[in-house]
Amino acid sequence: MLYKDQELKIYNSISGEKEHFQPINEGHIGMYVCGPTVYSNVHLGNVRTFMSFDMIFRYFKHLGFKVRFVRNITDAGHLENDADEGEDRIAKKARLEQIEPMEVVQMYTVDFHNILSAFNFLAPSIEPTATGHIIEQIEIIKEILDKGLAYEVNGSVYFDVLKYNESYHYGKLSGRNIEDLIHNTRALDGQSDKKNPQDFALWKKAEPQHIMRWPSPWSDGFPGWHLECTAMSTKYLGETFDIHGGGMDLKFPHHECEIAQAEACNDKSPVNFWMHANMLIMNGKKMAKSTGNYILPNEIFSGDNPHISKAFSASVARFFMLQAHYRSILDFTNAGLLASEKGYFKLMEAINSLDELSHSDKTDGFDVAAWRLNCYDAMNDDFNSPILIAELFAAVKFINQLKDHKASVSKPDLDTLKQTMRAFTFDVLGLENEGVKQDSGNKLSEAVEILINLRADARANKDFELSDKIRDELAAVGIQLKDGKDGTTFSTN
Ligand code: AMP
Ligand code: ZN
């Protein structure tokens, strides 16, 4: 197994340091990443965070780890302003669109999956939903109440942050200090049932008009947003697991509250490594749905957005994003995308010429073995994809020299070069080979042309049975023939 030769370092948000990564069970990794709240289309910022973890998942798999990667779908409990007040995001959308909340959930879950597969994401191992785990959430609330770290008021249950902080440390992840929090949070306005403004909801009693409600010992209501991730991560990965990830903006309060809930229940730290992906920004501000400062993936693919001059493929956008380290802020610009497009095609051209290269007795002009190790070193240093990409371009330069007969490569080195280039580009970075895609598109056209000509011959011979068979069987695989005055054309669906 490759992972046995590698010393992997991961930046742990909770210690603020890169630490040697050792999974709890050798060869196995449990990783949980907070998924989307499915009340609107995912924007490119959301895609960036999920892509960082897709790359990380891919690298673990490449190293030979068996990874259980859990990424949830938030389909209840996430209120408008990430706090305990306001309308449920999904219920609000349902009200505005006059459809059922579960129709909203279905629509945007499908959108999320379509967008992720357009960007060539691997599917997670488990994709659980909040509404599918109400019972587990209720059980956790009971345990926290039993421990005396939560209280019930008027059918709602709140986590008692001050009480918890007497024995544990609220703020250990975000670095926030409880005194400052008390100082800086608005005093309760008399409308809230909470004892202290820092407390957060574990269960909320539903107002009569609230449609998303479930029975519980306390009221007909719904779980607090932070609780679902504690319930689903514990259920599928255990009381302590290896990695928990999400966007930087989830560190507080979401992840801080997850730690508090899990520690209150199990009296141990739920996660060994906390990983936070940094934000995609545009015009100097965080890309966000709420401010209108966002771009949708489909607008990238169509070019239909004032921020960009043309359409870009998903692979180019993926390459653009992975050229930044996952913990760095990335500024979305048209110029950046244009530069990435050039780089991407240069990389693909070099990879597509690998099979044409011939070897000699010895290698001259490049140290293939050292270069391969550099690729691993880059990824082992907290998944440094920009350094990895720089290494891939060092190899591109060598490949181009080989093509120009200005360097030479031995048979074993050429094999290593091919295998390493492909593994990192396709398996780890998850780029797709558009050169090949175009090529297979051309081959498809040529094959269909042959069938169109055979059908024309059949018709000329009055063999309508055969001509119809060709048309129908092509239609059955999604290729429609259209007879026009200039001959027959085809379209695919
Ligand atoms: P949400 O559906 O709002 O919970 O967001 C889903 C994920 O996208 C979370 O992990 C967020 O941290 C992440 N996210 C939201 N906005 C951005 C952004 N501008 N750049 C990167 N990640 C983001
Ligand atoms: Zn979460």
pLDDT score, position 282 = 96
Rounded mean pLDDT, 228-239 = 98
Give residue 467 CA to ligand 2 midpoint distance, Å.
57
Query: Half-sphere exposure (CA, 13 Å, Cβ side) for 96?
Result: 10
Pocket test for ligand 1, best of 37, 49, 244 (most atoms within 8 A of CB): 49
Task: Using DSSP bridges, classify how beta strands 150-153 and 66-71 pair: parallel, antiparallel or unpaired.
Answer: unpaired
Q: Under a CB-based contact definition with an 8 Å cutoff, are residues 82 and 253 in contact?
A: yes
User: Smallest Cα–Cα separation from 433: which of 353, 379, 352, 355?
Assistant: 352
Q: Is the pLDDT of residue 425 over 80?
A: yes
Residue 26 CA to chain centroid, in angstroms?
25
Q: Which of 171, 172, 197, 168 is nearest to 185 (CA)?
A: 197
Residue 112, SS3?
A: helix
Tell me, what's the pLDDT at 192?
Answer: 77
What ligand 1 atom has the least distance to the C-alpha of 278? 21
Ligand 2 centre and the CA of 124: distance in Å? 15
Given this model, what pLDDT does residue 191 score?
Answer: 66
Average pLDDT on 34-47 reads 97
Ligand approaching nearest to the C-alpha of 250: 1
Q: What is the pLDDT of residues 79-119, one digit of tens each?
A: 887 677 788 899 999 999 999 999 999 999 999 999 999 99
CA of 72 to the centre of ligand 2 (A): 8
| Amino acid at the residue 294 | Y
CATH code of the domain made up of 2-277: 3.40.50.620
CA atoms within 13 A on the CB side of 48: 32
Q: Examine the pLDDT at 326 and tell me if it is beyond 90.
A: yes
CB-based pocket (< 6 A), ligand 1: 34, 36-37, 45-46, 48-49, 246-247, 249-250, 279-280, 286-288
Rounded Cα gap, residues 262 and 264, in angstroms: 5
Nearest ligand to the CA of 230 is 2
Residues 6+ away with beta carbon under 8 Å from 99: none
Digit-coded pLDDT (tens) for 462-491: 999 999 999 999 998 888 888 887 788 887
Whether residue 169 is predicted with pLDDT greater than 80 in this model: the reply is yes
Among 37-46, 48-57, 178-187, the least confident range: 178-187
Q: Give the per-residue pLDDT at 85.
A: 77
Separation CA 42–CA 36 (nearest Å):
8
Atom of ligand 1 nearest to the CA of 42: 2
| Ligand lying closest to the C-alpha of residue 89 | 1
Cis peptide before 23 (omega within 30 of 0): no
> Cα of 163 to ligand 2 centre, how many Å?
23
Ligand 1: residue of 249, 282, 326 to mutate (most ligand atoms within 8 A of CB) is 249
Residue nearest to atom 15 of ligand 1 (CA): 46
Q: Ligand 1: distance of its center to the CA of 451 in Å?
A: 48
What CA–CA distance (Å, rounded) separates 454 from 476? Answer: 18
**In the chain, where does the domain assigned CATH 1.20.120.640 lie?**
281-428
Whether the pLDDT of residue 452 is over 70: the answer is: yes
The yes-or-no verdict on residue 158 having pLDDT over 60 is yes
Alpha helices in 431-463 (DSSP H): 434-460
Neighbours of ion ligand 2 (CB under 5 A): 34, 229
Average pLDDT of span 136-151:
98
- The predicted structure's pLDDT at residue 301: 96
Q: Which range, 23-32, 72-81, 432-441, is most confident?
A: 23-32
* Phi (first) and psi of residue 271, to 5 degrees: -135, 135
Query: pLDDT at position 210, please?
Result: 85
Q: Is the pLDDT of residue 437 over 90?
A: no
Write down the pLDDT at residue 329: 98
Angle, CA of 422, 393 and 350, to the nearest 5°: 55
350 alpha carbon – ligand 1 mean position (Å): 34
pLDDT for res 150: 98
Structure tokens at 241: 């697991």
Instruction: Report which of residues 157 and 490 the model is more confident about.
Output: 157
CA geometry: angle 217, 220, 224, nearest 5 deg: 85
**pLDDT mean over 198-205:** 95
Q: Which has more confidence, 179 or 411?
A: 411
**Residue 421's closest CA among 386, 383, 489, 375?**
375
- Relative to the CA of 286, which ligand 1 atom is closest? 19
pLDDT over 90 at 406, yes or no? yes
Main-chain dihedrals φ then ψ at residue 426, nearest 5 degrees: -95, -50
Fold designation for 281-428? Four Helix Bundle (Hemerythrin (Met), subunit A) (1.20.120)
pLDDT of residue 485: 76
Question: What is residue 188's predicted lDDT score, i.e. its pLDDT?
Answer: 59
Residue nearest ligand 1's atom 5 by CA:
36
Candidate from 151-160, 174-183, 272-281 with smallest mean pLDDT: 174-183
Confidence category of residue 14, pLDDT binned at 50, 70, 90: very high
Which atom of ligand 1 is found nearest the CA of 294?
19
Output the CA 82–ligand 2 centroid distance in Å: 12
Which protein residue's CA is at the shortest distance from atom 12 of ligand 1? 247
CB within 8 A of 440, min separation 6: which ones?
A: none
**pLDDT number for residue 244:** 98
**Per residue in 288-318, pLDDT tens?**
988 999 999 999 999 999 999 999 999 999 9
The chain-wide mean pLDDT, for the chain, equals 94
Contact assessment for residue 241 and residue 247, using Cβ atoms and an 8 Å cutoff: no
pLDDT exceeds cutoff 70 at 355: yes
Please tell me the predicted confidence (pLDDT) of residue 189.
Answer: 60
Pick from 391, 345, 343: nearest CA to 368:
391
> CATH 3.40.50.620 occupies which residues in the chain?
2-277
Q: Whose CA is nearest to atom 7 of ligand 1?
A: 46
Q: Is the pLDDT of residue 450 over 70?
A: yes
Instruction: Tell whether the model's pLDDT for residue 436 goes beyond 70.
Output: no
Nearest ligand to the C-alpha of residue 48?
A: 1
Ligand 1 center from residue 321 Cα (angstroms): 14
CA of 246 to the centre of ligand 1 (A): 8
Ligand nearest to C-alpha 249:
1
Is the predicted pLDDT of residue 186 greater than 80, yes or no? no
pLDDT band, residue 261 (cuts 50/70/90): very high
E strand segments, 161-240:
200-205, 221-223
CA 385 – CA 377 distance, rounded (Å): 11
